Amino acid sequence: MFLEPHFKGQRSGWIEVICGSMFSGKTEELIRRLKRAKIANQKVEIFKPKVDKRYDDANVVSHDANSILSTPIEHSSKLLLLTEGVNVVGIDEAQFFDMDLPENVQKLALRGLRIIIAGLDMDFKGRPFGPMPNLLAIAEYITKVHAICPHCGNLATHSYRLTDEGDTVVLGEKDRYEPRCRTCYHMGNILDLRVNNEKGEKKNK
Ligand code: ZN
Higher pLDDT, 6 or 115: 115
Q: What are phi and psi of 139, to 5 degrees?
A: -75, 145
Q: What are phi and psi of 67, to 5 degrees?
A: -120, 160
Q: Is residue 103 annotated as a catalytic residue, yes or no? A: no
47: helix, strand or coil: strand
Give which of 40, 58, 39 is closest to 48, Cα–Cα: 58
CATH H-level, domain 14-204: superfamily: P-loop containing nucleotide triphosphate hydrolases (3.40.50.300)
- Per-residue confidence (pLDDT) for residue 46, from 0 to 100: 95
Polymer length in residues for the chain: 205
**In this structure, which amino acid lies at residue 1?**
M
Which of 29, 45, 93, 178 is the catalytic position?
A: 93
How many A from CA of 11 to the centre of ligand 1?
Answer: 43
Helix (H) or strand (E) holding 54: none
Q: Is the pTM of this model over 0.85?
A: yes
pLDDT of 9-35, one tens digit each?
566 899 999 999 999 999 999 999 999
Q: Is 179:161 a contact under the CB 8 Å cutoff?
A: no
Question: What are the structural domain ranges in the chain?
Answer: 14-204
Helices (H), 40-110: 78-81, 101-110
The pLDDT of residue 204 is above 90? no
Q: What whole-number distance in Å separates Cα of residue 102 and Cα of residue 160?
A: 27
Higher pLDDT, 17 or 51: 17
Q: What whole-number distance in Å separates Cα of residue 151 and Cα of residue 135?
A: 31
How many A from CA of 153 to the centre of ligand 1?
Answer: 6
The pLDDT of residue 68 is above 80? no
